[in-house]
């Protein structure tokens, strides 16, 4: 499950985007209980969240999700930004093998001067009496600016490089890969976009 939960600080900074909404429904005190209700309803084994505000994550989001049986990992954006990405998974279903944060900001490269981040986890399914490969799960929120597709693609290339490293197995193959992200691309009409690494389709985007 993927959910951009809209950082409250970003909402306030860009309030002009939400003038069509009634003010009471924009308050975090109203939104979070409803977000949590949705999460409980779908009861996903893996949950990827974007625009997760750090103070809300520590005080409310993580404790609430842990009470539902989730283990949570979080990567905050660079540059003193208020939010980041989180991947949460049911610890009854998976064991955590590795946590791999990705920072897209590199001040010496013009296409990498933004503070977006990604997070890549390697998870081992807990399947009794069965040998199951690890699963690579990636989450990111690429740059919002619709005019800077060049930056989005550069950020995506960095994320795919990290995924390739994490998912690569000793025999040269790749473990299953899931990318559940807020990509902000409009060039593909399909929700599922196949991605190839070394000529083999190893993962599909959920956009």
**Residues 44-69 pLDDT 10s:** 999 999 999 999 999 999 999 999 99
Q: State residue 146's pLDDT score.
A: 87
Q: Please provide residue 22's backbone torsions phi and psi, each rounded to the nearest 5 degrees.
A: -65, 135
Q: State residue 195's pLDDT score.
A: 47
Q: How far is Cα 116 from Cα 107, in angstroms, rounded to an integer?
A: 13
Q: How far is Cα 76 from Cα 51, in angstroms, rounded to an integer?
A: 9
pLDDT band at 191 (very low <50, low <70, confident <90, very high): very low
Q: In the 8-state DSSP scheme, what is residue 25?
A: G
Q: What angle do CA 93, 180, 159 make, to 5 degrees?
A: 110
Q: Which residues, at least 6 apart from 102, have a Cβ–Cβ distance to it below 8 Å?
A: 75, 117, 118, 119, 120, 140, 158, 159, 162
Count of domains for the chain: 1
- State pTM to two decimals: 0.88
- Residue 68 sits in which domain range? 2-206
**Residues 127-176 pLDDT 10s:** 876 778 999 999 999 998 889 999 999 999 999 999 999 999 989 999 99
The enclosing domain of 188 has a CATH number of 3.60.10.10
CB atoms within 10 A of CB 40: 10
CB atoms within 10 A of CB 109: 10
Torsion of CA 30, 33, 35, 40, to 10 degrees: -160
């Amino acid at each position: 499950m993927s959910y951009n939960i809209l950082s409250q600080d970003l909402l306030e900074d860009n309030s002009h985007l939400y003038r069509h909404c009634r003010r009471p429904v924009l308050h975090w005190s109203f939104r979070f209980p409803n977000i949590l209700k949705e999460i409980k309803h779908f009861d996903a084994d893996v949950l990827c969240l974007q625009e997760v505000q750090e103070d809300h994550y520590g005080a409310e989001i993580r404790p609430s999700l842990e009470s539902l049986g989730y283990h949570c990992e979080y990567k905050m954006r660079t540059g003193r930004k208020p939010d980041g990405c989180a991947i949460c998974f049911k610890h009854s279903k998976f064991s955590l093998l590795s946590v791999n944060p990705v920072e897209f900001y590199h001040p010496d490269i013009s296409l990498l001067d933004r503070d977006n981040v990604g997070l890549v986890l390697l998870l081992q399914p807990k399947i009794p009496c069965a040998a199951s490969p690890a699963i690579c799960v990636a989450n990111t929120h690429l740059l919002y600016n619709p005019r800077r597709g060049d930056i989005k693609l550069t950020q995506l290339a960095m994320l795919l490089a990290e995924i390739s490293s994490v998912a690569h197995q000793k025999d040269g193959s790749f473990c299953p890969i899931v990318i559940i992200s807020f990509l902000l691309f409009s060039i593909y009409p399909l929700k599922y976009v196949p991605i190839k690494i070394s000529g083999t389709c190893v993962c599909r985007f959920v956009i």
